[in-house]
Amino acid sequence: MARLLGVDLPRNKAIVVALQSLYGVGLSTSTNVLKDSEIELNKKTNDLTEEEIQKMRKCLESYAVEGDLRKEIALNIKRLKDIGCYRGVRHRRGLPVRGQRTHTNARTRKGKAIAIAGKKSIKQLK
């Protein structure tokens, strides 16, 4: 089983797809890493030798992936919150940051709608 940057790669997949299980690695990055380390794109993860895994590790050091990338993103968001800019305020309040509407949608950021307690009983009294 191949293990890179603290993550177990999926076993029976092409290595170009398996590398995408690392945070911050997409198709173009995985293709570039494999070309730099001179590994076939369609080679299965099970068929990798220890030397090839070492080559991939060395190539991935030049990219910001996994923990470093997560830390960098978290620091960027914290900076926006600290300076109090519009995007930082939206992050702080848990609202959409990139201009989406909030009147009807935005359930992912705002959470599930909660019914108002006792509203039905008030209508029945009238």
CATH number, domain at 87?
A: 4.10.910.10
CB distance 4 to 22 below 8 Å = yes
Listed residue (99, 72, 105, 102) closest to 87, CA to CA: 99
For residues 53 and 73, membership in a common domain is answered with no
pLDDT at residue 73 in the model: 95
For residues 42 and 15, membership in a common domain is answered with yes
- Domains: count for the chain: 2
For residues 55 and 97, membership in a common domain is answered with no
The boundaries of the domain holding residue 103 are 67-125
pLDDT at residue 119 in the model: 64
Last residue of a domain, one of 14, 38, 62: 62
Task: Report pLDDT digits (tens) over 13-50.
Answer: 999 999 999 999 999 999 999 999 999 988 999 888 99
Question: CA–CA separation, 126 vs 122, rounded Å?
Answer: 7
CATH code at position 21: 1.10.8.50
For residues 54 and 32, membership in a common domain is answered with yes
pTM exceeds 0.85, yes or no: no
